[in-house]
Structure 1
Amino acid sequence: MHITNASERRYDLDWLRLIAIAIVLFFHTGMIFNKWDFHIKNAETSSTFGYWMAWSHAWRMQLLLFISGAGTYMALGKRTVAQFAGERFRRLFIPLVFGIFVVVPPQIYFEFISRFQNYGDFYKTVFEFKPYPQGGSFSWHHLWFILYLLIYSLIALPLLSYLRSPRSQSFRDKLWKTMGSPAGMLLIPAAIIVMSQVLLRPFFPEETHALVNDWAYFVYYLSFFIFGMIFYSNQNLWCSIEKNRKFLLVASVIVLIPFYLMFFNFYKTITLPWKPETIEVVFHVSANIGSWFWVVTIVAFGQRYLNRPHPWLSRANEGVYPFYILHQTAIIAIGYYVCQWSWSITAKFWTISLLAGISCIMFYVTCIRPFAIMRLFFGLKPNRKAVEVTQTASAVATAE
Structure 2
Amino acid sequence: MGVIRRYDMDWLRIFGILLLFPFHSARVFDHWDPFYVKNETLSWGLSWFISITNLWFMPLLFWLAGSASWYALKTKSSAFYIKERIQRLLIPLVTGVILIVPPQGYYAILDHTGEAPDSYFIFLKKFFTDFSDLSGYFGSFTPAHLWFILYLFVLSVAALPIFLILKSEQRRSSINNFLAQPFVYIMLFILLALSTALPAPGGQNPFYFFVLFVMGYISSSDLRFQQMLNRLRSKLLISIMILVPVWIFLARVYPHVDNFPAMAILLTLLRSFNVWVGLLVILGYGYKFLNFQHRLLPYLNEAAFPVYIIHQTALVIVGYYMIRLNLGVPLKYLLIMFSTLTVSLLIYEFIIKRTSITRLLFGVKIKKIISVLEDSKNKNLKS
Q: What TM-score, normalized by structure 1, do the two folds share?
A: 0.85
Of the candidates 48, 54, 59, which is equivalent to residue 57 of structure 1? 54
Of the candidates 89, 98, 101, which is equivalent to residue 101 of structure 1? 98
Deviation at 1:262, TM superposition (A): 2.3
Deviation at 1:242, TM superposition (A): 1.8
Deviation at 1:273, TM superposition (A): 12
Secondary structure at 1:40's aligned position in 2? coil
Deviation at 1:351, TM superposition (A): 0.2
Q: For residues 177 and 10 of structure 2, what CA distance do their matches in structure 1 show?
A: 25
- Most deviating of 128-137 and 67-76: 128-137
- Most deviating of 133-142 and 235-244: 133-142
Deviations 1:323-344 (A, max 9, x none): 1111111111100110111100
1:7 aligns with 2:7: no
The gaps in structure 1 that reach 5 residues or longer are 391-400
Deviation at 1:276, TM superposition (A): 5.5
Counterpart of 2:379?
none
- Most deviating of 163-172 and 105-114: 163-172
- Most deviating of 253-262 and 83-92: 253-262
Counterpart of 1:142?
145
Q: For residues 250 and 8 of structure 1, what CA distance do their matches in structure 2 show?
A: 31
Of the candidates 334, 358, 363, which is equivalent to residue 350 of structure 1? 334
8 Å Cα contact 2:190-2:272 kept in structure 1: no
User: Aligned pairs, how many?
Assistant: 367
Once the two structures are superposed, the pairs formed by residues 318-337 of structure 1 within 5 Å of their partners are 318-337=302-321
Secondary structure at 1:156's aligned position in 2? helix
Cα RMSD after superposing both structures: 2.4
Of the candidates 29, 41, 58, which is equivalent to residue 33 of structure 1? 29
Q: For residues 257 and 370 of structure 2, what CA distance do their matches in structure 1 show?
A: 66
Letter of the 1:162 counterpart:
I
State percent identity of aligned pairs: 28
Secondary structure at 1:244's aligned position in 2? helix
Deviation at 1:374, TM superposition (A): 0.5
Counterpart of 2:275?
291
Secondary structure at 1:112's aligned position in 2? helix
Deviations 1:77-105 (A, max 9, x none): 22111111101011100000011111110
Q: For residues 172 and 123 of structure 2, what CA distance do their matches in structure 1 show?
A: 56
Letter of the 1:185 counterpart:
Y
Deviation at 1:293, TM superposition (A): 1.1
Deviation at 1:279, TM superposition (A): 4.6
1:164 aligns with 2:167: yes
Deviations 1:337-384 (A, max 9, x none): 101111000000000000000000010000011111000111111142
8 Å Cα contact 1:11-1:306 kept in structure 2: yes
8 Å Cα contact 1:176-1:237 kept in structure 2: no
Secondary structure at 1:35's aligned position in 2? coil
8 Å Cα contact 2:247-2:271 kept in structure 1: yes
Counterpart of 2:77?
80
Q: For residues 120 and 226 of structure 1, what CA distance do their matches in structure 2 show?
A: 42
Deviation at 1:249, TM superposition (A): 0.9
Deviations 1:171-216 (A, max 9, x none): 24xx2344332x33222x2011112224x2xxx47xxx42xxx5x7
Counterpart of 1:17?
13
